[in-house]
Amino acid sequence: MQKISIGSIDPANANPQMSTWTTSDPNVALVLGDGTVLAVAQGGATITCTVRDVRRECVVAVGEDTRPKPIAGALVADIEDQEYTEEEIQPEPTVTLEGATLAKDVDYVLTYTNNVEEGTATVVVTGIGDYYGTVTKEFNIVVVPDVPTLQFTTAQLVLGKQIVMRFGLSVPEGLDVNDGEAQFEIGGRNARSSDAISLSDADTSEETGTRGFYFELSSVEMAEPITCTFYYGNGETVSKTCSVKDYVELVDERPDVIDDPNMIACVHAMANYGHYVQPFLAKYSPSSWTLGTDYKEMNKFYPEMNNVEDATAALNKLPEVEGLGKNSLSVTFSLSLNSYTTFDVYLAPKNEGGTVTVSSAKFGNSDTDYEAELQPDGRYRIHIEGLKASQLNNELIIEGTAEGDWYKVLVRPIQYATTVLRGSYDNLHKEAMAALYYYYYWSSKVS
C-alpha cells in the first residue's frame, strides 16, 4: 500500500473532492480516493488521476508475494483408524491449502504425539519454506482382535499317480470350516461340467490344521490354470491358482522344492508326456479329448528324456502277452490317453463260431474282479480306467475258457506302447508312446 504522485499532481496537496483516481486492472491493483494504491496480484496496471482538465497516468508493477504464508488454514485429510502394533504409528495425511496439495518435507514436516499406545494420537503439521505456523489432526490407534483366517499355502503335483494337483488349505485353530466346500475351475471354466474332472473330498490333518483338495486332470490340461476356491462361513471365499506347468517351472527354478533326483526326473517326464501327447490327440482324437480345438500345448518339455529308440529298446525287454491255453484265443488291447489313462482288453475265439467265457480278471495287487462285458460283435471287453503311470506294467490276469479249453493270459498296459513303437505308426504316435514310457519309468521310481 503506497500513495503515489503523478506528474504535477501531489495527492497530499490535491483536493480529494476535485480529483478522480482509477485503475486499468482492479485484479492487479486498486487505488483509493486519496491516491493510495493497493497491490492485489502479480502483474501490471495503469493508475490514472484526473483533476478538472488535467489527466495524468502512472504504470505500476506488482511483483510476486514472497512472504511466508500461514499454514493454519490448511485442510488435513481424515486419518482412518490405525492398528496397534506396539511400535510408533506414523500416518502421512494429505495436506491442502487453497486447493493446492502441499508437499511433505518441502512445504511442511510431520511430528507425532501419543502415537504408540491404544487411544487418541496427534499429528502436527509444521510449515516450512513458503509456509509457517502449525495445524494438528487427531487419529485413533485401536487394538484389532485376532480373527482366524484361511489361506491356501501349497499347490503341488502328487507324484507317481494320475496327473493330480493338490491344493493345501491352512485352517487356523478355532475356525470351523466343516460346512465349507471346494470348487475348481480350469482355464476359467467350471470344472464340475467336465467328465474329465474328479472332485475329491478333503483329507484332513488334525496335527497341522491343513486340508487337501485334489484335482485330477488330463495330459492336455497341464498348461491350463487351475483355480481352487473354498467357500465357507457367510459367503466368504479363499482361492489359489496354479497349473502343472507352473509347478514344473517352480521345480526347475527352486532346487529346494524337490531335492530327490528321481522325483525331479518324474516331474520332467510328466511335463514331457503332456507336451508330446497333445499334438497326437489333436490329430487323432479331436472330438473326445477334454479341451477340443482350444487346447494349449504344454511347452515345457525335455527332449533328452524322449528318445524313441531308447524307449523301444527298453520296452523290447518286457515280455509280450503271456499265458497258457491261449491258442484258441484272440487277444487285442488298446490304451486311451484322452483324459484318464484307460486300458481295454478284447477277447474273442480265433475260429469263427467259437465261444469264449471269462471267469476271472484281476489287475495288479487288487482284489477287484473286473467284469467282462459282452460286445455287439461277440467279443468280451475288460475295461480299466484311471490308471496311475506306475501301474502301466502291472499284469492283468484273465482266466476262462475258449473253444471249451481253459486259458490263463497275462496282459500289461505298457505292451500297447511296445506295439506302437515296433509298428509302422507315424512320429506323433511314437513320440507320445515314448513319453508315456518315460513317465511310467520315473513314476515307478517314486511310487
**In 3-state terms, the chain is what percent helix, strand and coil (to 5)?**
20, 40, 45
Task: Kindly tell me if the per-residue pLDDT of 290 is higher than 50.
Answer: no
Question: For position 391, what pLDDT does the model report?
Answer: 84
Distance linking the first and last C-alpha atoms of the chain: 95
Four-point Cα dihedral 423, 424, 426, 428, nearest 10? 0
Nearest of 394, 392, 340 to residue 164 by alpha carbon? 340
Interior angle at CA 319, CA 317 and CA 325, nearest 5: 160
Whose cell is 506347468? That residue is: 245
Task: Kindly tell me if the per-residue pLDDT of 243 is higher than 70.
Answer: yes
Radius of gyration of the chain (CA): 43
Top mean-pLDDT range of 102-106, 331-335, 419-423: 102-106
Cell numbers for 207: 496335527
* Cβ 247 vs Cβ 267: under 8 Å: yes
Q: Which of 118-127, 164-173, 252-261 has the lowest mean pLDDT?
A: 164-173
Structural domains in the chain, CATH included, are 2-62 (2.60.40.1080), 69-142 (2.60.40), 147-300 (2.60.40.10), 306-446 (no CATH)
- Confidence class of residue 293 from pLDDT cuts 50, 70 and 90? very low
Cα–Cα dist 147/197, whole Å? 34
Question: For position 149, what pLDDT does the model report?
Answer: 67
Work out the average pLDDT over 225-247.
85
Work out the average pLDDT over 319-331.
79
Cell numbers for 313: 529298446
Task: Please name the helix (run of DSSP H) or strand (run of DSSP E) that holds residue 249, with its range, or none.
Answer: helix 244-253
Instruction: Please state, rounded to an integer, the average pLDDT across all residues of the chain.
Output: 82
Cα–Cα dist 217/226, whole Å? 10
List pLDDT tens digits, range 71-84. Answer: 998 999 999 999 99
DSSP state of 104: B
pTM here is 0.60
> How many other C-beta atoms lie within 10 A of the C-beta of residue 253?
8
Distance of CA 344 to the CA centre of its chain: 38
Cell numbers for 347: 477277447
Cell numbers for 360: 476271472
Whose cell is 493454519? That residue is: 72
